[in-house]
Amino acid sequence: MNKLNAVSEITLTAIQNIPEINPVMRLQALSINALKLKNAV
């Protein structure tokens, strides 16, 4: 697993585990992460 993947995994886990983050911000973070992963490939 490359570093970017690892970072994204950690970020996603953190986002999912923080209930205070509202759904819109969560979706934005997920889509940003998806774009990063797509560009990394």
Domain assignments of the chain as residue spans, ordered by start: 3-40
Neighbours of 4 (CB within 10 A): 14
pLDDT band, residue 28 (cuts 50/70/90): confident
- Per-residue confidence at 1, pLDDT binned at 50, 70, 90? low
What pLDDT, on the 0 to 100 scale, is given for residue 30? 82
Report how far apart, in Å, the C-alpha atoms of 41 and of each of 25, 28, 31 are: 25, 20, 16
pLDDT tens string 6-26 = 777 877 787 777 777 677 887
| Cβ neighbours of 29 (radius 10 Å) | 16
Q: Please check the confidence at residue 27 and state whether its pLDDT lies above 70.
A: yes
Q: Which residue has the tokens 């969560």?
A: 26
